[in-house]
Amino acid sequence: MGNICVIGPRASGKTTYLAALAYWENHQIQKKKGKSFHVQPLNDESRNLAEKAEDIILQGLSVEPTVIGDAIQTVDDLDYYSFKIEAKQGLLNLRQTIQLNARDYPGEVFEKIAEPNLSDSIHEEFVNECLMKDVVGCLILLTGWEPGTDRFYKRVMNRFIELMDNRDRLKDLRLAVAMSKCERGELWPGRIDPENDLFGVHLPKTKATLREKIPPKNLRFYAISTFGVLRRTDPRPNRIDDQGKSGRASVIRDGNRWRPYNEIEPLYWLSRG
């Protein structure tokens, strides 16, 4: 069993990503290099998330973001998701199974890591829970590269690595750092080699900081797309941007062609190494 934290800035797609994972068995996913994945939600929170995927995302609406407010005052107020993921590979259908437990943290707690003092209780609780010894890894979703974004991500990662070191997690906590929403036209061609063609091009300072300070065996770079593209012969993003009451959000363009890209691979690596 692996406990994994899903973190990232606001609007990086964390909640939608987990909803797509909960809804996985309903996606028409092709086998990748002879490997197929099956996902089973194990608790009520995960099953409710799958229902949100069907009732909200497939209807072209956006899932409400996870934000700190009246309903969320402490880490214990956050939903706790549990999944069983089974991988089948090869002609003999060799099977490997992992149980994954994940938290979806508000983007504010990620962004506030860069501040020198974590004065708010929920941010202190986040750091304490995220860096506990029974957490095997973190999936870090990054999505932007506007001017100043690389410097900000670098500052957050520097501080997060300091916190890892202070809690003796620098040598045994795995980090899967993913460029989310990689279905965007300027990113899609770089998904095959995300470390060099996405992070090396768009977030070079962030990449350099991680490579310098995280042991190579504990660091991987990924590209993830929760919505995917329309089809192989039509690589337009299967998403559109919508200005909702919670701000700019991404919604699905064609629910019948919902095929996420590379959603499970980073989770599988985080759990098994």
Return the residue matching tokens 């959000």: 249
Cα separation, 118 vs 6, in Å, equals 19
Rg of the chain over Cα atoms, rounded to whole angstroms, equals 18
- Per CATH, is 2-272 categorized as 3.40.50.300? yes
pLDDT for 61-88, tens place per residue?
887 777 776 667 677 778 889 999 988 8
- Amino acid identity at 10: R
Length of the chain: 273
Q: What is the pTM of this model?
A: 0.91
What is the band of 135 on the pLDDT scale with cuts at 50, 70, 90?
Answer: very high
What DSSP element (H or E) covers 102?
strand 94-104
What is the band of 156 on the pLDDT scale with cuts at 50, 70, 90?
Answer: very high
**What mean pLDDT comes out for the span 227-243?**
87
Cα separation, 268 vs 29, in Å, equals 17
Q: What is the pLDDT at residue 124?
A: 80
With the CA atoms of 154, 156, 162 and 164 taken in that order, what torsion angle do they form, in degrees rounded to the nearest 10? -110
